Amino acid sequence: MNGRCWCLRAYLTLLAALALCGLVTSSPTQAASLIIATVDNGHMLQMRALSSEFEKAHPDIRIRWITLKERELRKFVSGDITTQAGLVDIMTIGMYEVPIWARSGWLKPIRTDADYDVDDLLANIREGLSYQGKLYGAPIYGESSMLMYRKDLMRKAGLTMPAKPTWAQIAAFAARLNDPAGDVHGICLRGSPGWGENMALVTTMVNAFGGQWFDMRWQPQLESKPWKDAVGLYVDFLAKYGPKDAVSRGFNETLALFQAGKCAIWIDATVAAGFVSDLNQSKWADSVGFAQAPSAATSKGSHWLWAWALAIPASVDATREAAAQKFVNWATSRDYVKLVASEYTWRLVPSGTRKSTYASPQFQQAAPWAAFELEAIRTADPKDATLPKSPYVGVQFAAIPEFRSIGDTVGEFVAHALTGQLSVEEALVKSQYAAKRQMQRGGYPEDAVVRPECKLQGAFGDCR
C-alpha cells in the first residue's frame, strides 16, 4: 500500500471513530463547538488542560480535543486538509506545512487582535509561519536543538562539556560515559522513523558534515560522503552507546528515558529543557547541563528550527472561524504564557516564540537554558542552512510537497540500518533511489536547473 492510500485509510478510519464518539456533528447548535487536533507533547497537553479557562471567558464556545502522537497527527491533519472534509476547526501544524498549505489556499490567515503584538514574535519563527507577509500559523512554541547532559556524570568521569562541542568530542564523551552496568547509556537520540523524528536530527548532522538533501539541480545527494559520515556516526552512536530499543523511541520516549537518569547525553529539541529541569518530573533535574548542538565540518546546520503552531483550515465556516480566531489569539498570547507560569511555573512556559518571554526576569531566573535556546533559534537560518548552497528552504527539512514522503521513506531505511537489517551504505543507496523516484513523480526533470529567483523559495509549482 502506498503512503497516500495508507494516509487516506487511516484518516477515514479515525473520522468514522470520531463520528461514533459524537465529535462530528452537523447540528447547528454545535456551531461554536470547536474541534482541535493536536500532538501529545507537553505544551499541547498543558493547553488542553488550561482550555477550561478560555471556556469560562467565552461561555458560548466549547472545545473538543483530538490528541495524537506526532506521526499520526501529521497523517490525520493532512487527510483532513487535502480532502477539505472540514472535520477539524483548528489544527496543530508546523513550519513545513504552513507555507505549502497557505500557497495552496488551504488555510485562513490568522487575524490577530489589538493586544496580540505580532512584532513580539521572534523574527525567524514569524517568517517561517507566514506566506506572502501574512501569518497563517500562530506559534504555540518554537524550538531549535541543543545538547543536554548529566553534569554529575561528566564530573565523575573528569570531563568538561564545551559550550559549543563537536561531534568528534561527543563521540569521545559517549564512549567514556557509557555504563551498561549502571544502566546509563552514553548517549540517547531519537530512533523512531519519520521525517519529523529520526530525520530531524540526522538532517542537522548531515548539514554539520557539509551535506544537503538536494543540490542546486534538485538531484538527491543521499549517497554523498556527508550523508555516509553522518548516518554512519548516528548508527554507531546508538549501536554502541544507546538504548537497545532506540528505534522505537521518539521525542517523548527519549525524554522519559533521560528523566529517569538513564542517559548521559541527549541531543534533541530545546523545548525539552524545561521538562528535564523540573524536579517534579526527575530527581536528576538539578544535575542537567546545556550546550549548543554539535558541529562538524561546518557550523551551519548544527541547530534545527521548528515551531508548532495553531492554524485554521479554509474549510471552516464563518461562525466557527470567528470562534477559532479567538481561541488561537488566546492560546498563543503573552497573557497565555503568564497563565502557564502561574499554573506550572515559569520553568515550564512555552518558549521559543516571543521576545517578551526571554526579556522576563522570572523566566531568566527559572530557565538556565534560556540563553542557549535563544541563540540556537536565532542562528538557525532556513534560507542558508547548508554548505554548499541548496535550492530549498528549511534546516531539518526541505520545504517542498514531495519531502514529506521522501523524509519518511529515508527515515525507515535509516531505522533499518540502526537495527542491522541494512548496512549504512545499503540504506543510503535505497534512499537515493526512492528520493529520485519521488522527485520525478513530482515533476522535477532529470536535468532540472533552478532559476536564480527560485533558489531561496523552495520548489513550488512555478519554480520548477
User: Are 290 and 353 within one domain?
Assistant: no
Q: Is residue 376, in this structure, part of any structural domain at all? A: no
Contact (CB, 8 A) for 164 and 292:
yes
Q: Which of 344, 371, 398 represents a domain boundary (last residue)?
A: 371
Q: Is the dihedral of CA 312, 317, 321, 324 positive or negative?
A: negative
Do residues 316 and 189 share a domain?
Answer: no
Same domain, 429 and 361: no
First to last CA, the chain: 29
Q: Is the pLDDT at 16 greater than 80, yes or no?
A: no
For residues 166 and 168, what is the distance between their CA atoms, to the nearest angstrom?
Answer: 5
CA-nearest of 234, 97, 191 to 411 is 191
Domain boundary at 324, 345, 371, which? 371
Nearest-angstrom CA–CA distance, 293 and 306? 15
Q: At residue 6, does pLDDT exceed 70?
A: no
**Does residue 377 lie in a domain region?**
no
Residue showing cell 554539535: 294
Count up the domains in the chain and report the number: 2
Interhelix angle for 225-241 vs 167-177, to 10°?
20
Cα–Cα distance for residue pair 443/104, rounded to 1 Å: 17
Do 267 and 228 sit in the same domain of this protein? yes
CATH number of the domain that residue 420 is part of: 3.40.190.10
At 96-135, the pLDDT tens digits run 999 999 999 999 999 999 899 999 999 999 999 999 999 9
pLDDT of residue 71: 86
pLDDT, averaged across the chain = 90
pLDDT at 448: 53
Does residue 166 share a domain with residue 94?
no
Place of cell 513580539: 120
| Residue 203 and residue 304 in contact, taking contact as beta carbons nearer than 8 Å | yes
Per-residue confidence (pLDDT) for residue 452, from 0 to 100 = 41
Look at residue 23 and tell me whether its pLDDT is greater than 60: no
* Same-domain pairing of 162 and 231: yes
Contact 325, 333 (CB under 8 A): no
Cβ partners under 8 Å of residue 421, min gap 6: none
Instruction: For residues 251 and 268, state if they share a domain.
Output: yes
* Neighbouring residues of 290: CB distance < 8 A, sequence distance ≥ 6: 146, 147, 148, 149, 273, 368, 369, 372
Grid coordinates of 9: 485509510
Shared domain for 323 and 440, answered yes or no, is: no
Higher pLDDT, 146 or 17: 146
Can you name the residues that pair with 306 across neighbouring β-strands?
143
pLDDT at 32: 81
Whether residue 340 sits in one domain with residue 403: no
- How high is the pLDDT of residue 447? 63
SS3 20: helix
Residue 460 is predicted with a pLDDT of: 32
Nearest-CA neighbor of 372 among 185, 184, 162, 187? 162
Give the model's pLDDT for residue 277.
Answer: 94
Domain limit, last residue, from 371, 390, 411: 371
pLDDT at 300: 78
Look at residue 11 in the predicted model and tell me its pLDDT: 47
Same domain, 318 and 464: no
Residue 302: what pLDDT? 83
113, with CB counted inside 10 A (0-12, 13-18, 19+), is exposed
Express each pLDDT in 348-380 by its tens digit: 999 999 999 999 999 999 999 999 999 999 999
In a domain, 118, yes or no: yes
The predicted pLDDT at position 14 comes to 54
Of the chain, the percentage scoring pLDDT greater than 90 comes to 87
Cα–Cα distance, 106 to 401 (Å, whole number) = 14
**Residue 416's closest CA among 434, 401, 402, 403?**
434
- pLDDT score, position 205: 97
What is the domain range of residue 347?
3-143+306-371
Least confident of 288-292, 390-394, 409-413, 448-452: 448-452
Taking only the tens place, the pLDDT of each residue in 60-101 is: 999 999 999 988 999 999 999 999 999 999 999 999 999 999
Burial class for 103, CB neighbours closer than 10 Å (0-12, 13-18, 19+): middle
Strands 90-94 and 33-39: parallel
**pLDDT(299) > 50:** yes
136 and 31, same domain (yes or no): yes
pLDDT band at 437 (very low <50, low <70, confident <90, very high): very high
Residues 138 and 185 in one domain: no
Radius of gyration of the chain measured on its C-alpha atoms = 22
pLDDT above 70: percentage of residues in the chain:
89
The verdict on residue 50 lying in a domain is yes
Burial class of residue 266, CB neighbours in 10 A (0-12, 13-18, 19+):
buried
Nearest-angstrom CA–CA distance, 205 and 442: 26
Dist. CA 196–CA 307, nearest whole Å: 12
